[in-house]
Structure 1
């Protein structure tokens, strides 16, 4: 069985180049993903913007005056 040194060197060079270019492409994609993503998604908006989602405490069932059954009936009635 004859082994060609030129073939093996060519194959090793191809594998090395493939791995190198794969790593470079991955690093470019990581850089672009970090560049596109906003810095702080959850900051308070500025200008005339309004933050829609607020973290408020919800009243308990005893505070609202409705029972769990009433709330469940309303849930099924409205289909929400």
Structure 2
């Protein structure tokens, strides 16, 4: 079996070129990921922000916890 040095170097050059392109493509996608990703929606508000959630005391069954029906109603109310 004859191993050609020219074919071996061409294969090595192909592998290095392919790895460089994959590395470049990964970093370009990472750059776009930072651009496309939404801002952190749970960060502390700044400026003239107003708190829109008002804590309510829900009627409970006497133990201090809401009943299952009240929890289900709250679940559907928030739509989560």
User: Under TM normalisation by the shorter chain, which class is it?
Assistant: 0.5 to 0.7
1:42 match = 42
Q: Write the distance in 1 (CA, Å) between the matches of 2:10 and 2:42.
A: 52
Structure 1 length-normalised TM? 0.57
61 and 33 in structure 1: CA distance in 2 versus 1, 3 angstrom threshold: farther
Q: Which residue of 1 aligns with 2:31?
A: 31
Between the aligned partners of 2:10 and 2:39, the Cα distance in structure 1 is 45
Unaligned runs of 5+ in 1: none
Bigger proportion of residues as helix: 1
Gaps of 5+ in 2: none
- State how 1:60-79 maps to structure 2 within 5 Å: 60-62=60-62, 68=67, 71=69
Cα distance in 2 for partners of 1:36, 1:6 equals 45
